[in-house]
Structure 1
Amino acid sequence: MKRIIVDYKKLTPEILGLLVEKYPDGYDDDQVIAFKNAKNETVEAVEVKTEDTIYLVKVSTRLESTMANFDEDDYEDSEFTDPIVDIPEKDDTEEDEDK
């Protein structure tokens, strides 16, 4: 399964729709995932899954506003650039070290 980090500015209508469906009343602190990026900066994100991909959408006040105002009919595919940032798969040895 692919894991992808997406900034709210580059959300596709599909991902935004999944976020609104999963978090119709917004998200709580316990639903936010915190992790370190390649620059060792702490990033907070909420997770949404499709059949083959896990998206981590970076959390911000603007994301909440975007979700609240989402109307799928207002978006056209041509408005969006490629939001994909692949995250390398964790190998089993890394997961064992975390435990």
Structure 2
Amino acid sequence: MSNPKRVIIDYKKLTPGVLQLLVQKYPDGYGDRDIIKFRNIKGEAVEAVEVTAADTIFLVKISSKLQRSIINFDEADATVLGMDNSSEPGFSSEEE
């Protein structure tokens, strides 16, 4: 992967495709070792987990709502959203 785009994404802008990537990477939830800590441009402490799509690395900000979404997401959700494991999840331009 050469020069992937890097995107920090908040729970509120989380697309079904990125949520599916999170569930695939962290099927049992994420732990302390998975959390990346950094300071944003405003100097605020941010905690995020990383997932990678074909040409983008997403840092998804951690929140209690994110954890609940990962826990509650299942294969039925993927089917309803028109996603399955045989295709690349769709992404919208809202992540940027």
Task: Name the CA shift for 1:57/1:17 in 2 (closer, same or farther; >3 Å).
Answer: same
CA RMSD of aligned residues (A): 1.9
Match of 2:17 among 14, 19, 39: 14
TM-score (norm 1): 0.74
Is the Cα contact below 8 Å between 2:9 and 2:95 reproduced in 1? yes
Q: Which residue of 2 aligns with 1:84?
A: 95
Q: What are the ranges of 5 or more consecutive residues in structure 2 without an aligned counterpart?
A: 83-91
> How many aligned positions are there?
82
CA-CA distance at 1:10 after TM superposition: 1.2
Q: Which residue of 1 aligns with 2:40?
A: 37
CA-CA distance at 1:75 after TM superposition: 4.6
Is the Cα contact below 8 Å between 2:14 and 2:95 reproduced in 1? no
CA-CA distance at 1:44 after TM superposition: 0.3
| SS at structure 1 position matched to 2:19 | helix
Question: Greater Rg, structure 1 or structure 2?
Answer: 1
Q: Matched residues in 2 for 1:36 and 1:75: separation?
A: 34
Q: Which residue of 1 aligns with 2:67?
A: 64
Q: Percent identity?
A: 53
Q: Matched residues in 2 for 1:38 and 1:54: separation?
A: 18
| SS at structure 1 position matched to 2:18 | helix
TM-score (norm 2): 0.76
Q: What are the ranges of 5 or more consecutive residues in structure 1 without an aligned counterpart?
A: 86-99
Q: Which residue of 2 aligns with 1:2?
A: 5
CA-CA distance at 1:83 after TM superposition: 3.3
Q: Which residue of 2 aligns with 1:92?
A: none
Q: Which residue of 2 aligns with 1:28?
A: 31
Q: Matched residues in 1 for 2:94 and 2:32: separation?
A: 24
| SS at structure 2 position matched to 1:38 | coil
